[in-house]
Amino acid sequence: MVNYDNGSVRLGPLEIGYRLEGAGERKVLLLHGRNSHSGTWRKTFPALVDGYTVVALSLPPQTGELTEALVELYTGYVEEAMGKLGMSGAAVVGNSLGGWIGMRLASRGRWTVSRLVLEDTAGTLSENPRALAGIRIPVMIVWGEEDDVITLREGRQLHSLLAGAELKVVQGAKHVPHWEKPDAFNELLVDFLVRT
């Protein structure tokens, strides 16, 4: 696949690519799943670029088990990148691993994340429920009805832990609704982002 990134940011010894589009005052940060890249969001960008500044990071791939220590490391990368790219206060949209990172970011304080979309999120059984209870921003959980990687049952459990969050189930989608059912996902996303 052709590289979708159109910029990069240096984080210590790492150089992380990203895709940036749009120039709106409101900001959206898109975080992909494990061992993916910014290109997974290319069906999402067209729905957002007219009204938002949109950044999708390409986080470094990893092998082996997905541990909490690794998620914490990646969360640090994202937090530093947000600062360098002027994305503090963005709405964060995360799929799978990206959702787990989003939960970590949001639990640390409102200044970093203005609202949160958790799409078929990893870490639902690992994250500290007390940390999740501390998330006091608008949250939408989006889950593929037919996800066979992280089942809808876990999505419903996450919903029960996040007071005030809404749960949207995408019919016919599996683990990556934004790719598999982009029209349905984009409609949910835009509706959530435009609310006051």
pLDDT in tens, 58-95: 999 988 888 999 999 999 999 999 999 999 999 999 99
3-state secondary structure of 93: strand
Domain that includes residue 89, residue range: 7-194
The answer, yes or no, to whether residue 196 has pLDDT greater than 80, is no
Say if 116 falls within a structural domain: yes
pLDDT of residue 2: 63
Say if 190 falls within a structural domain: yes
CA distance 145 to 174: 6
Compute CA distances 56 → 38, 44, 75, 147, 188, whole Å.
5, 10, 14, 23, 18
pLDDT in tens, 147-178: 999 999 999 999 999 989 999 999 999 999 99
Find the CATH number of the domain harbouring 24.
3.40.50.1820
Quote the pTM value: 0.96
Say if 126 falls within a structural domain: yes
Torsion, Cα of 173, 161, 28, 76 (10° steps): -110
Mean pLDDT, the chain, whole residue set: 94
CA distance 134 to 171: 30
CA distance 121 to 175: 9
Say if 2 falls within a structural domain: no
Say if 88 falls within a structural domain: yes
